[in-house]
Amino acid sequence: MLWLSPFLLFFAFATCSEVLELTKDNFHSQLKSIPVCLVKFYAPWCGHCKSLAPEYKSAADIISKKTANLKLAEVDCTAHGDICSEFGVNGYPTLKIFRDGIFDSEYNGPRNADGIANYMISRAGPCLKKSVLSRTLKTASQMISHLWLHL
């Protein structure tokens, strides 16, 4: 039985997906915490969605190894139709890019893992720099305010 534990631990990590599951309860809060996020709106019965799923997961895994400021997520429109309606989804799969929780643009790039990852990393570059700069300035401002209070 002890020999099984390392195998199960490896299997658990090997099958862990880097794709965030978004629901009506966490959609807006999760996206606000991510500088750039590609969201796949899908239906489980959709053939094109089933074909895209392994490529999308692989792209998320590639991205997770390169940056923490860019994520891939997905919404099951059969379970969370209100979110899909909010963003005008009327076909599956639909991919949309969000920046700091705000819809930015439709994704019309490649539909394979390397293509998705490379496209998103190239598109996210300036935004990631802006996001880091914004956070750095906010932190610096807070430090100055704190020091000013203690003078």
Positions marked catalytic: 46-49
Q: Chain-centre distance of CA 151, in angstroms?
A: 43
- Bond prior to 44 in cis (omega within 30° of 0): no
CA–CA separation, 46 vs 149, rounded Å?
A: 59
Give the full edge-to-edge strand order of the sheet including 70-76.
19-22, 70-76, 36-42, 94-99, 102-106
| List of residues 6+ apart from 75 with CB closer than 8 A | 22, 23, 27, 39, 40, 41, 42, 83, 84
How far the first Cα of the chain sits from its last, in Å, is 63
